[in-house]
Amino acid sequence: MRTCLLPCLLSVMLASTPVAAQDATDAARALARDAIIVDTHIDAPGILSSRWADLGVEAPDREFDYPRAREGGLDVAWMAIYTSARQDDNGTARQAAHAQIDSVEALVQRHPDKFAILTSPRDIERLRQGGRVLLPLTMENAGPLEGDLSQLQVFFDRGIRYITLAHSAANRLSDSSYGVERKWNGLSGFGREVVAEMNRLGIIVDVSHISDAAAEQVIALSTTPVIASHSAFRHFTPGFERNISDELAKAVAAGGGVIQIPFGTAFVDPRAAEVLQARFRARAEFDQRNAARVAAGEPPEDRAAFEEAFNRENPAPTETPLSSVLDQIDYGVQLVGIDHLGIGSDFDGVGGELAEGLRSVADFPNLVAGLQARGYSDADIRKLLGENLLRVWHAVEDGAEAR
């Protein structure tokens, strides 16, 4: 276990001083370029499907694009194929997922010199030659399976290599950490079948977003290591089930898995976490009201007006220091050890509500500089940046091959 090597004054300085990309030290930029940086959660595909942008060139309204990825040293950017609970309910989730995969493939076909789809960690060195940014695919919410186990093979063949079992509400597989309703008290029978089939195929199981009971059952059932792809520690946000508890984090680590720390303020800032929980509760109530109105033959309420009113009445913090992310890492190292942590930024997925100095994929050197300032060795920083996650991915592949 690492103990802090610098006085507490340094943490105060980091918390109070704004950080910009150009502030990173030469040593931090050099390590970010040389290390393999793996970010397990970037929400670019959903935006690509709804509003195309050429991410092979600078895209100022996005947080991920090729020029900034190279500036920040990002090598492996997991593309999140996200579908909502509403799409689960109305039967459009599967089509939406395939459309998003199509959009990532179109990006790669447009820029084969800049991007490549990645389906195995064994291909990293070969595919990243020439400066390519590699794009493995993840399914955020297993709704597109639509209760059909055979669809796992279909999505595996399309490149999906980890799956977040549920998102903001219970689905056919699992309860959600956000959901008021606990439909399954953890996993459903189908959810248990899905975990076993994911193990067989070599798809990583992700316990972010699901309820504590479901996560506990996944960890017990899975024959290969699991991950929390973008979850911070609940220690800092008491009562926020979306973040991982100490007990579950220890269980993930005991099975060889990793906890990937996000940069979104809602995960690392207690006040922002309260606002996010309130938003999901309000949305659930709004959807229930609208369903009742439609059933009664009345027009539904306007969703955009609801969202605008909620945001006006529940302002989230506008400034969260980079030190909040560093504190998460420090805590995780003390709790589960350096070998069980990584990065899952949630870029393009939190509406720009990100810690200072970590506002786009260009900013990884700032994280490296902060870790170096707190006394982490370059070898340990390399583990956090990507080596730990790649170890897990290899183990999941090996577990599938051993069957």
pLDDT in tens, 130-167: 999 999 999 999 999 999 999 999 999 999 999 999 99
pLDDT in tens, 366-398: 999 999 999 999 999 999 999 999 999 999 999
In a domain, 347, yes or no: yes
The answer on pLDDT for 4 being more than 50 is no
Give yes or no: residues 361 and 375 share one domain: yes
**Any domain includes 300:** yes
Which of 113-122, 176-185, 297-306 holds the top average pLDDT?
Answer: 113-122
Same domain for 180 and 297: no
**Looking at the structure, do residues 297 and 211 belong to the same domain, yes or no?**
no
Q: Tens digit of pLDDT for each residue in 329-353? A: 999 999 999 999 999 999 999 999 9
Q: 164-179 burial, b if ≥16 CB within 10 A, otherwise e?
A: bbbbbbbbbbbbbbbb
Note whether 344 and 326 are same-domain residues. Answer: yes
Q: What is the pLDDT of residue 14?
A: 40
Average pLDDT over residues 77-101: 96
Q: pLDDT per residue over 212-236, tens digit each?
A: 999 999 999 999 999 999 999 999 9
The CATH number assigned to the domain holding 104 equals 3.20.20.140
State the alpha helices, DSSP H only, in 184-269. 189-201, 212-221, 246-254, 265-268
Residues 276 and 391 in one domain: no
Q: Which domain holds residue 252?
A: 8-269+319-401
State pLDDT tens for residues 271-293.
888 888 888 888 888 988 988 99
Residue 3 lies in a domain: no
User: Would residue 264 count as lying in a domain?
Assistant: yes
Q: Is residue 185 left, alpha or beta, with left meaning phi > 0 and alpha meaning psi from -120 to 50?
A: left
Q: How high is the mean pLDDT of the chain?
A: 92
187 and 51 inside one domain:
yes
385 in Cβ contact with 364 (< 8 Å):
yes
Question: Using 50, 70 and 90 to split pLDDT, how confident is the model at 8?
Answer: very low
* Residue 294 domain-assigned (yes or no): yes
Whether 1 is in a domain gets the answer no
Same domain, 176 and 137: yes
Helix axes 212-221, 246-254, angle to 10 degrees: 10
Task: Please tell me whether residues 279 and 343 are part of one structural domain.
Answer: no
Region 48-62: mean pLDDT is 92
Q: Are residues 86 and 109 in the same domain?
A: yes
Q: How many domains does the chain have?
A: 2
